[in-house]
Amino acid sequence: MREITYAQALNEAMSEEMRADKNIIFMGEDVGVYGGAFGVSRGMFEEFGPERVMDTPISELAITGCAAGASMTGLITIVEIMFSDFMTLAMEQLVNQAAKNRFQFGGQGSVPMVLRAPGGSGTGAAEQHSQSLEAWVAHVPGLKVVIPSTPYDAKGLLKTSIRDPNPVVFLEQKLLYRTKGPVPEIGDDYTIPLGKADIKREGKDVTIITYGRMVPRSLKVAEDLAKEGIDIEVVDIRSLVPLDKETLIKSAKKTGKVLVVHEACQTGGFGGELVSVVVDSDAFFYLDAPVRRLGGLDVPIPYNPNLEAQVVPTEEKITAAVKDLL
Amino acid sequence: MREITYAQALNEAMSEEMRADKNIIFMGEDVGVYGGAFGVSRGMFEEFGPERVMDTPISELAITGCAAGASMTGLITIVEIMFSDFMTLAMEQLVNQAAKNRFQFGGQGSVPMVLRAPGGSGTGAAEQHSQSLEAWVAHVPGLKVVIPSTPYDAKGLLKTSIRDPNPVVFLEQKLLYRTKGPVPEIGDDYTIPLGKADIKREGKDVTIITYGRMVPRSLKVAEDLAKEGIDIEVVDIRSLVPLDKETLIKSAKKTGKVLVVHEACQTGGFGGELVSVVVDSDAFFYLDAPVRRLGGLDVPIPYNPNLEAQVVPTEEKITAAVKDLL
Amino acid sequence: MKLSKEKHKELYLKMMQTRRFEETAARLFVEGKVHGTAHFCIGEEATGVGVCSALEVEDYILQTHRGHNQGIGKNMDINRMMAEFRGKETGYCKGKGGCMHIADFSVGSLGANGVVGGGIPIATGAALKQKYNKEKNITVCFFGDGASNEGAFHESLNLAAAWKLPVLFVCTNNQYGMSTSTKISMAINDISIRAAGYGMKGINLDGNDVVNIYNETVKAKKYILENGPMLMVLETYRWMGHSKSDAQLYRTKEEVNEWKEKCPIKRHREFLLAEGILTEAEIDALDKQAEEDIKRAVDFAENSPEPKIEDIFDDVYA
Amino acid sequence: MKLSKEKHKELYLKMMQTRRFEETAARLFVEGKVHGTAHFCIGEEATGVGVCSALEVEDYILQTHRGHNQGIGKNMDINRMMAEFRGKETGYCKGKGGCMHIADFSVGSLGANGVVGGGIPIATGAALKQKYNKEKNITVCFFGDGASNEGAFHESLNLAAAWKLPVLFVCTNNQYGMSTSTKISMAINDISIRAAGYGMKGINLDGNDVVNIYNETVKAKKYILENGPMLMVLETYRWMGHSKSDAQLYRTKEEVNEWKEKCPIKRHREFLLAEGILTEAEIDALDKQAEEDIKRAVDFAENSPEPKIEDIFDDVYA
Ligand SMILES: Cc1ncc(C[n+]2csc(CCOP(=O)(O)OP(=O)(O)O)c2C)c(N)n1
Ligand SMILES: Cc1ncc(C[n+]2csc(CCOP(=O)(O)OP(=O)(O)O)c2C)c(N)n1
Ligand SMILES: [Mg+2]
Ligand SMILES: [Mg+2]
C-alpha cells in the first residue's frame, strides 16, 4: 500500500468527503491559501474555492457557533481550531450549544459538525500551545471525541466523523502530522467506525491502553521489551467517546496487568476513566497487579526542549512502568 | 454552636477577610445591590461600597482576566461567575493565563484570586445552568479546586482560598446554599486547610468517597443502612486539588470496599481520578470488590423536575450501589 | 407603509397572547405548578411580535431567555409552549428544555437560549447556510443590552459583516441586564453605534411601537438581502423583575410606572381606535380570544403526560 | 513636543537593538540552536519602542507574541531575553516560557502572550489595581489587528470604558493576522473607530514614525489619567513571514517592498540627520553598540546553563 503522512490522510478525508457532498463546508483561521498552521488543508482552497474553504477572523467562539448554526440548518461543517488550547475560547458554543441543542430542543434538529484541533507538546510552542485537553470534551454528553494515531486511522476516522450526525471533536496530534503510514489509494472509500478500539499489537503479559501519539511510543517500547521476552498488548482506543469498553476489558482479563498511558496531565486525565472502566468490570477479578496510570506530569508544558520532552511519558518511563507491573 | 446557612457562611468568609485586608476586592455580575443571583453577597455592597464590590458587565472572559490582572499586580480578587456553566466563557483566561502565568514567567508574580461559581442541578434551570464541571479545572496544573459540603466547611475553606497565593476555583453547590449547619461565631477566625479530606462519618464496612451535595445525601444513606447493620464510612474530599490521597487510601484499606459518588456525568468525571488513586495504591491489595463509581447519567440536565431528580445519584441509587458492593 | 386590518389584528392579538401567557405563567409559579425560573417580557411585547410578524417561515430566529413574544410572533403553538413551560411530554422540547430552550424548527425558530448572547454565533451560521444556498431569506437574532457586552456579540457581528451574512441583529434594550443598568455596564447611550465598528448599518427604534417595528423590519430584510447584516436596537423596558426572584432594589417605582405609561399594547389599541382601523368591539374580541387561547393552552398542558425517565437517553445523540 | 538628543538616541538604539536581536534570532534558527517558533516585528520596531519609551517603570505593559520591540522599549535586559529565547536557566522565565512568554515584572512588563488577545483582559485588571490604589500610572496593552476581532477585545474595552480604567490599548495594525488580510477579517478600514462603540477615544497613527508615536503616547497618558481609557491604532507592516514557517503566498513582493521603503529605522535616521540632531558618526556609533549588545547577549545565552528537570515543579504553585 502507498504511504502518506497523517496530515495528508486528513487532507484526503476532507477533500474526498467534500467532493462527494456539496453540503460540506470547511472554515478556520488561515485554512485557505495558507493551508492551515500545520498545512493540513493545503490545496483545498484552490480546489473548493472561497465559498467552501473559508478563512475566518480570529474569533474562536464565533466560528465554532457559526459552524454549529450552519450544521443545525442543513450544512455539514468542519471547523479547524488552530491549536486545541484555543478551544478554551470556544467551550461555551461547543458545550452549551452544539452538544446540547438536540437534547434540549427535544430532538429537533441535529448538529453534524466536526471540530478539528491539534493537541500535544513537542514543538517548542510552550504552555499555551501544547496542552492535551481531550478529558474536558470527553466529559460532555452530546459530543463524540476521536484521537487517531496513524495515517490510516486518521483518514478512516475523519471520514466517519464527517458523516456522523453529531458534533465530533477530532483531536489531531501535532507530532504525528509528518509521520507516514500505509493508506489505501485516493477514492478507495474506507471508513472506521467510532467506538471500535484497535489492538495495535497483540501480547499476553501486559496490556497498555493508550491513544494518540503515545501509541507509536508504546509500540516502540513493546518491540524493545519483546527482546527481553516481555509480550505487551497495545490497545489504541481511537475514540474516547464512544468508548469500546469490551475490547479494553477483554484485554485486561487476558493479561491481568494493565498500564494506561496518555500525554495529558495525569491528574484528572482520561486515564482515570479508562482505569475505572477496567476495575469496575469483572476484569477486576483477573487483575494480579494494581492498574497503573502513566500520564504527563502535572505541570504546564515548558519551552525548553529537554524539559518539554521529559514532562510527558517517555519510552524510559513507559518501560519502567511496565516492568513495575511484572 | 449557632446555625447559619451555607450562603451566609460564604458571605461571612468574604466579609471577614475583606474587613481584615483592604487589598481584597470582589467583582461579578449583579453581586452588588442585587446581592448575587443566589444572594450570597447580600449586604456586602452596602458595607464595602462600589470600589470593593463591583457589578460587572456580562463579560465572563474579561472579568476573569481582570481579576487575574488585578491579582498579579497586588490585589486579592474574588470573582463570582453566576453559574459555573459560564466558566465555559472564561476558560481561556482561567486556564491559559491565571493558572500558568507564574510558571511560564519563571516564578515572577503570582495570582492570588478566587473564582467562585455555583454548580449542580436541582433548581429547574435545565441544561445550560446545571452542570458540574469540576473535572475540567481539576485537570489544570496551577489551579486549586474546592467544593464544600457544609456551612462550616464553606466558611473555613473559602477563607483559606482567599489567603492562598494561587488561583482557586471555589465551586459552590446551589442546592446547599439554603442548608444550615453549625458555624463558630463571627470573627472567631478559623480556617480549614486545602488538601485535607474530612471523614464525615466513620464506618467499617464500605467507604463512600464523595464531595459537594452528594455528601449529605451519602450520609443520609449511611444512617438508613446503619439500621440494617451496614456501617458506611463517608469521606468528603473537600478539595479536588490538592487531593488528600492518604485519607482515601487509608479508608479503602480499612473497609476494602469503595464506592465513589458524584453528581457530575460519570464519564470523564473526577470519580475516575478517585478510583485510580485507590487502585494504583497498595490499597489495591486490600480490596475485596471492584471499586464502584456512581456518577450522574451521561446526559445534559433536563428541565422536568422528575427527570432532573433522576439523572443524578439518588438515595436509592447510592443504596443499591452500596449493597451491590457487599 | 400602511398595514392591512388583518396584519394589525395579528400584531395586537400576538401581543395580547404574550401578555396573558406570561401573566398566567406567573400565576402558575405562585400555585407551585412550575419549578425553575422564567423571564417575562411584559412591557416588551412589541419587539418580538413586531419583528417576527414581518418574517416568513423560511426566515430563522434565535430567541432569548425572555422570548415568549418572539416565539408567539413567529407563530409558535401556544399549547406546546405552555406544555414545555410545565415540563410536559407534549411540550416543544418534550419537557426536557423548559422555557429557556423553547424551539420550533417547523416555524423557523432555532431556539431560545439560556446563555446570554449564546444565540448570536449560531445566527451567523444559520445565515451562512442561507447565503450558501442562495436563499432569499434572513436570520434574525434577538439578544439584550447586557448581551451586547459579551464577546460573542463582537465576534459574531464582525464575522457577519466581513462575510456579508443575511442577519438582522435585534438588540432589545430594556435598560437593564438583570439588576445592572446600561448606565453602569457601558459608557454609551445608544447601542446601535456599535454597528459602525463592524462596518455595519445600525438603527435605534422605539421598542414599544409595534407598527413601526414591523415596517422597519420589512425594510431591514430588503436592505440585508442586498447589503449584508444590520443591527436594530429597540428601546423598551421590563416591567416585572428579572426573573421569579427579584426585589428590584436597583430601580425606582417611578421609573417603572413611567414606562408602564408607554405600554405597547395600550398604545397600539389607542392607535387602532384613533385611526379607526378597529372598533372597540373588534379589539375586545381579540382580547377575549387571547384569554381563551391561553386558557386552552393551560388545560392542554395540565392534561398532558409527564415525560418518562425511560426516554432520557433519547436525543443525547442523533 | 521636541525630544532631547538623549531621547532620540534612546529611540534609535532600541529600534536598532530590536532589529539586530531578531535578525540574530532568525539566524539561530537556521543554525538549529532554537526549536519552537518565533514571531518577528522587523519593520514594526517604532510601535513598541515609541510607546514604551514614553512610559515610567510603574506603568505596566502587556506584550504580544511579536513583542521584542515592546520589551526592549520597556528596558528589558537583552541578555535575559536572548537567554530565554534559547531556553536557558538564566532567561527571564528560566527557560520555561520562551519568547512568547517573556516577562519582566521589575520593569513593568506583565508578560508577552501566546494567546491572541490574551493580554487584553489582564490589562484591565492591572489598571483596576492602579486606579484602586490611586496611582498616577497607566497600563499599556499591545495587541494586533487580528486580536481586535476576538471577544476579549470587546469585553475588555467595554469594561475599561465603563469603569474608566487607566488603560492605553495599542493596536499594532500590521495589516495581517497570520495570512489573513484585515480586508478579509473585517469590513472596516480603520480599527480605531471601534473605540466609539465603547464611548472611548480612538486615534489612528502612522506606526512607523517613532517620534510621533512617542509624543502621542506622552499625551495619551495624560489624557487617560484624567479621562479614562483610549485606543491607539498604529499602522505598520510585518516584513518577515508570520512565524518561522510561512511561504507568504497571501501577499505580493511589491507590497512588502513598498513597506520596506517606509522602514521606521531608516526614517528616524534620516530625520535625525536632516534635523541635525545627530551626526553620521553618532548614529554609526549607536549601530555599532546595538551590534555589540546583541553579540554580548548571544554569548551570554550560549554560555548559560540549561534548566534542570529537578526544578520542573517549581512555580506551578506559589
Ligand atoms: C453567559 C451568561 N452570563 C450570565 C447569565 C445570567 N443571566 C441571565 S439573564 C441575564 C441578564 C441579561 O441581560 P440582557 O442581555 O439585557 O437581557 P434581559 O434579561 O434584560 O432581557 C443574566 C446576567 C447567563 N444566563 N449567561
Ligand atoms: C486565540 C488564538 N488564536 C489563534 C492563534 C494563532 N495565531 C498566533 S498569532 C496569530 C495572528 C495574530 O494576528 P494579529 O493579532 O494581527 O497579530 P500579528 O501576528 O499580526 O502581530 C494567530 C492566528 C493564537 N495564538 N491564539
Ligand atoms: Mg436587558
Ligand atoms: Mg496583525
Whether the pLDDT of residue D255 is over 90: the answer is yes
For strand A168-173 and strand A144-146, is the pairing parallel, antiparallel, or unpaired?
Answer: parallel
Kindly tell me if the per-residue pLDDT of D213 is higher than 90: yes
B207/D93 Cα distance (integer angstroms)? 45
Chain B neighbors (3+ CB pairs < 8 Å):
A, C, D
- The cell numbers describing D234, all together, are 498604529
Which residues sit opposite C141 in a β-bridge?
A: C62, C169
Instruction: Identify the three-state secondary structure at position B111.
Output: coil
Q: Considering only CA atoms, which of C265, C237, C235 is closest in space to residue C171?
A: C235
CB–CB contact C318 A105 (8 Å): no
Cα(B275)–Cα(B290) distance, rounded to whole angstroms?
10
Are A144 and A169 spatial neighbours (Cβ–Cβ below 8 Å)? yes
Which residues are CB-neighbours of C244 under 8 A, at least 6 positions away? Answer: C29, C37, C38
Residue D305 is predicted with a pLDDT of: 98
Express as a percent the part of chain C with pLDDT over 90: 96
Non-local (6+) Cβ contacts of B99 within 8 A are A300, B111, B140, B141, B142, B143, B167
Among the partner residues B103, B139, B302, nearest to A268 by beta-carbon distance: B139
Express each pLDDT in A264-293 by its tens digit: 999 999 999 999 999 999 999 999 899 999
Residue contact B108–D92, C-beta within 8 A? yes
pLDDT band with cut points at 50, 70 and 90 for residue C245: confident
Q: Which of C250, C175, C251 is nearest to C207 (CA)?
A: C175
> Which residues lie closer than 8 Å to C75 by C-beta, 6 or more apart?
C52, C57, C107
Residue range C156-171: average pLDDT? 99
Residue D277 has pLDDT above 90, yes or no: yes
Q: Which helix (H) or strand (E) holds B239?
A: strand B239-241
pLDDT in tens, chain B (326 residues): 899 999 999 999 999 999 999 999 999 999 999 999 999 999 999 999 999 999 999 999 999 999 999 999 999 999 999 999 999 999 999 999 999 999 999 999 999 999 999 999 999 999 999 999 999 999 999 999 999 999 999 999 999 999 999 999 999 999 999 999 999 999 899 999 999 999 999 999 999 999 999 999 999 999 999 999 999 999 999 999 999 999 999 999 999 999 999 999 999 999 999 999 999 999 999 998 999 999 999 999 999 999 999 999 999 999 999 999 99
CA dist., res. C309 & res. C312, Å (int): 5
Which positions of A are annotated as active-site residues?
A: 129
Of A208, A200, A204, A197, the closest CA to residue A291 belongs to A208
Could you give the strand order of the β-sheet that contains A168-173, starting from the edge strand earlier in sequence? A53-55, A24-28, A76-80, A113-119, A168-173, A144-146, A239-241
What sections of chain D are H helices per DSSP?
5-30, 45-52, 68-73, 78-85, 119-132, 151-162, 182-185, 210-227, 253-261, 264-274, 280-302
Distance separating alpha carbons of residues B173 and B179, to the nearest angstrom: 10
Q: Which three cell numbers stand for residue C244?
A: 421569579
Cβ–Cβ contacts within 10 Å for residue B6, how many?
Answer: 29
pLDDT (average), residues D1-26: 97
Distance CA A130, CA A115 (A): 17
Exposure letters C287-315 (e unless 16+ CB within 10 A, then b) = beebeebbeebbebbeebeebeeeebebb
Closest partner CB to D318 (pick from B61, B63, B110):
B110
pLDDT of residue D35: 84
Q: What's the CA gap between A96 and C115, in Å, rounded?
A: 8
Q: Which of A295, A290, A195, A325 is nearest to A248 (CA)?
A: A195
pTM of the complete model: 0.98
Tell whether the model's pLDDT for residue A187 goes beyond 90: no
For residue range D289-303, list pLDDT tens digits in order.
999 999 999 999 999
CA distance B90 to B117: 12
Q: What is the dihedral of CA B181, B187, B193, B196, to 10 degrees?
A: -20
Strand D180-181 to D176-177 pairing: antiparallel
pLDDT band at C1 (very low <50, low <70, confident <90, very high): confident
**How many Cβ atoms from other residues are within 10 Å of residue A285's Cβ?**
10
Chain-chain contact of B33 with C116 (C-beta, under 8 angstroms): no
Q: What letter represents residue B212's amino acid?
A: G
Q: In this predicted structure, what is the pLDDT of residue C182?
A: 98
Distance from CA of A275 to the nearest CA of C (A): 25
pLDDT digits (tens, 9 = 90+) for C67-119: 999 999 999 999 999 999 999 999 999 999 998 999 999 999 999 999 999 99
| CA torsion through residues A300, A303, A304, A305, sign | positive
Q: What is the pLDDT of residues A106-122, one digit of tens each?
A: 999 999 999 999 999 99
Residue C158 contacts residue D153 (beta carbons within 8 Å): no
The answer to whether A30 contacts chain D (CB < 8 Å) is: yes
For residue D36, the 8-state DSSP code is S
Do the beta carbons of residue A137 and residue A94 sit within 8 Å? yes
For A136, residues 6+ apart whose C-beta sits below 8 A from its C-beta are A87, A91, B135, B136, B139, B268
pLDDT score at B147: 98
Q: How far apart are CA C187 and CA C30, in angstroms?
A: 38
∠ CA C199-C200-C202, nearest 5°, is 135
Pocket of ligand 1 (CB under 6 A): B 29, 58, 60, 82, 86, 89; C 39, 64-66, 114-116, 143-147, 174, 176-178
pLDDT above 90 (res C286): yes
Give Cα C304 to chain centroid, integer Å.
26
- Mutual orientation of helices C264-274 and C45-52 as an angle, nearest 10°? 60
Q: What are the pLDDT digits (tens) for A33-80?
A: 999 999 999 999 999 999 999 999 999 999 999 999 999 999 999 999
B40-44: long-range pairs with CB below 8 Å, 24+: B40/B7, B40/B10, B40/B11, B40/B80, B40/B116, B40/B172, B40/B177, B41/B11, B41/B14, B41/B80, B42/B11, B43/B11, B43/B15, B44/B11, B44/B14, B44/B15, B44/B18
Chains in contact with chain A (at least 3 beta-carbon pairs closer than 8 A): B, C, D
Three-state SS letters, chain C? CCCCHHHHHHHHHHHHHHHHHHHHHHHHHHCCCCCCCCCCCCCCHHHHHHHHCCCCCCCEEECCCCCHHHHHHCCCCHHHHHHHHCCCCCCCCCCCCCCCCCCEHHHCECCCCCCCCCHHHHHHHHHHHHHHCCCCCCEEEEEECHHHHCHHHHHHHHHHHHCCCCEEEEEEECCEECCEEHHHHCCCCCHHHHHHHHCCEEEEEECCCHHHHHHHHHHHHHHHHHHCCEEEEEECCCCCCCCCCCCCCCCCHHHHHHHHHCCHHHHHHHHHHHCCCCCHHHHHHHHHHHHHHHHHHHHHHHCCCCCCHHHCCECCEC
- Hey, are the CB atoms on D149 and C161 less than 8 Å from each other? no
Average pLDDT over residues D120-134: 99
3-state SS class at A3: strand
Q: What is residue A200's predicted lDDT score, i.e. its pLDDT?
A: 98
Pocket around ligand 2 at a 6 A CB cut-off = A 29, 58, 60, 82, 86, 89; D 39, 64-66, 114-116, 144-147, 174, 176-178
Mean pLDDT of C9-26: 98
For residue D101, what is the DSSP state?
S
CB pairs under 8 A between A and D: 121
Instruction: Summarize pLDDT for A138-153 with one digit per residue, the tens.
Output: 999 999 999 999 999 9
- Is the backbone of residue A172 left (phi > 0), alpha (psi -120 to 50) or beta? beta
The strand pairing partners of D172, in sequence order, are D144, D234
Nearest one of D144, D203, D138, D194 to D164, comparing CA atoms: D138
Classify residue D314 by its DSSP letter: B
Q: Determine the residue of D39, D64, D69, D116 to mutate for testing ligand 2's pocket, defined as the one with the most ligand atoms within 8 A of the Cβ atom.
A: D116
d(CA B208, CA D261): 72
At residue A143, the 3 state secondary structure works out as: coil
Min distance B78 CA to chain A CA atoms (Å): 21
Distance CA C208, CA D255 (A): 52
Q: Ligand 1 pocket test: which of B82, B84, B89, B129 has the largest number of ligand atoms within 8 Å of its C-beta?
A: B82
Average pLDDT, integer, range C254-277? 98
Taking only Cα atoms into account, the Rg of chain A, rounded to an integer number of angstroms, comes to 19
Mutate to test the interface with A, among B259, B267, B324 (most CBs of A within 10 A): B267
pLDDT of res. C179: 98
Which positions ≥6 away from A324 have C-beta within 8 Å?
A292
For residue C307, whether the previous peptide bond is cis, meaning omega lies within 30 degrees of 0, is no
CA distances from A49 to A27, A54, C133, D246 (A): 12, 8, 15, 21
Cα distance between residue C75 and residue C80, in whole Å: 12
Residue B61, chain C, CB below 8 Å: the answer is: yes
How far apart (Å, rounded) are the C-alpha atoms in residues D178 and D146? Answer: 8
Q: What is the pLDDT of residue A265?
A: 98
| pLDDT at residue C36, rounded to an integer | 85
DSSP letter (8 states) at residue D307: P
Average pLDDT of chain A? Answer: 98
